Amino acid sequence: MPTVAEIMDREPVSTSPDASIQEVIELLQTNDLPGVPVVDETKKVVGIITDSDLVISNEDSDFHLPHYVNIMGGIVFLESTKHWEERAKKAFAATAADMMTPDPITVTPDEPAEHAGRLISEKKHNRLPVVDDEGRLVGVVTRVDVLAALTGA
C-alpha cells in the first residue's frame, strides 16, 4: 500500500490569508485548480479555499436576516444568527482569510494512501493538504492521486 508521500504533489500551489479574493480566483484559474490551501508566513496550513467557497449557492441566494421580533425597541432573533453571519462574511469577503474554511482536514506524508482516500470520500473533498508534524504544507493529495494509486493506474 503506497503512502501519501508517494502519491502527493510535492510542489503545491498555496495562498496567504491576506491575498485578495481576485488574487485567489486568478491563482485557481491560472493553475486550473478547484481549491488551494491557505498558509501563514511559516507555511502552516490555516485554511483552504475551494471553488465552492467562491459561489453563493441557490440556497444562499435568498440572503435575508434571520427571523426576528421587535419587543419594546429591542430585536430578538427567533433563530440562530451563526449561519447568517458565516454567509455574510463570505458574501462580503475581501481576503482569503474571510473566504477560507479554517482548520481544514489534513493528512501527513506517512499515512497510507487508502486513509487519504477514505477521508476524501467521507468528507466529499477533492483534495487534502499534506502537512508535516508542525502543520506546515508539504504537499497536496487529490482524489485522482488516490484512485490512481489504489487501482495501479
Give the pLDDT confidence of 87-124 residue by residue, as tens digits.
Answer: 666 667 789 998 899 999 999 999 999 999 999 999 88
Residue 68: how many other CB atoms lie within 10 Å = 13
The per-residue pLDDT for 79 is 67
The per-residue pLDDT for 3 is 96
- Indicate the CATH number for domain 4-151: 3.10.580.10
C-alpha cell at 104: 481544514
- Domain ranges, ordered by start, for the chain: 4-151
